[in-house]
Amino acid sequence: MGHDMLMLGVDAGGTSTRAVLTTAQGECVGYGVGGRGNPIAVGPDRAADGVLDAVALALAPSARTLSEVEVVTAAMAGQRAEDGAGGWLLDRLEAEGFSGRLTFESDLMATYSSGSVEPFGYAIVAGTGASAVRISDGAIEATADGLGWLLGDRGSGFWIGHRVARAVVRDLDHAGPATALTDAVLEHLGIAADATRREGRPRTLERLVESLYAARPIELAALAPLAFMIDDPVAERILRRAGEHLADSLVAVLTGPGPLVVGGSVLSRSGPVRDAFVQRLGTAAALDLLPVVDGAVGAGLLALRAGGAAVSSETLAMLRKTVARFR
């Protein structure tokens, strides 16, 4: 493997995209952040824009170009390269001079690889979506949830945001308990309180419903942070239930001890979600928890593997250290 061989790892999420440019030795020489990069969440054109923006920023510090990159590995939820399914991204990369190999990996695999190079272990991600996996022999052997906003993603940012929206609607409709989330959501959406009624229904509720239905369902995830910011019993119940759902997903893939890499904003902070998660796990909480910021380092590591590099704990340590210089 040539000393100057370059690989690009892309951690493409429903909220933002991170790109890591690395040498064959695991040294990060460029890092960039772009917009949403998952075609399922935002469509292929917008997703490609997010990826290309992150890639351009990663290339800039070293003045390298895509024509010099041997491998691009894109880690994201729900994407496969079979039957040309990755053409939405490959076409855009090739238009910028890329002539190497594009591979796809699961975002869960990138999360795991950001925290461990052990051949056996677990990863759980709770960001916009949510899923848990068991890793065996360096590949995903079992998966729980990750079924998307309509059918799953229990305990995710979307799940929490959806429950927040429902709680506020029930409050305004006098069908549920009063909650401080109501004022927070109305302020977040720029909806002024209006005491007037039409056909017996509060105008405030009508405007809220119109606003929520006008957005893509996945955008309800933007309401999730409000539940963490407010000291409110309704918000706490939502967060605790989210933690229990995440623990149930992990238990579904548990078979024995191993490292547990934890990613995503929902489980990254202390509070009701994490407390309920640990409590629900019980004795299984003795797993070696390894929190990671995101899957960027892991995406870089997966790109190294795709390029034929032998990776080790030393490689992971080098990549972490050098990526940190750019964050």
Query: For position 195, what pLDDT does the model report?
Result: 81
- In order of 152, 171, 243, 266, the CA distances from 121 in angstroms are 23, 43, 20, 21
For residues 135-160, average pLDDT: 94
pLDDT digits (tens, 9 = 90+) for 45-71: 999 999 999 999 999 999 999 999 999
Query: For position 82, what pLDDT does the model report?
Result: 57
Domains of the chain: 6-105+295-324 (3.30.420.40), 118-293 (3.30.420.40)
User: How many Å apart are CA 217 and CA 214, to the nearest integer?
Assistant: 9
The DSSP symbol for 214 reads: H
User: How many Å apart are CA 187 and CA 91, to the nearest integer?
Assistant: 42
Pairing of strands 259-263, 288-291: parallel
Provide the whole-model pTM.
0.85
Q: Over 70: is that where the pLDDT of 18 sits?
A: yes
User: How many Å apart are CA 133 and CA 171, to the nearest integer?
Assistant: 37
The DSSP symbol for 83 reads: G
Handedness of CA 219, 179, 249, 19 (dihedral sign): positive
pLDDT digits (tens, 9 = 90+) for 261-292: 999 889 988 899 999 999 999 877 778 889 99
Query: For position 247, what pLDDT does the model report?
Result: 96
Nearby residues of 187 by Cβ (< 8 Å), 6 or more positions away = none
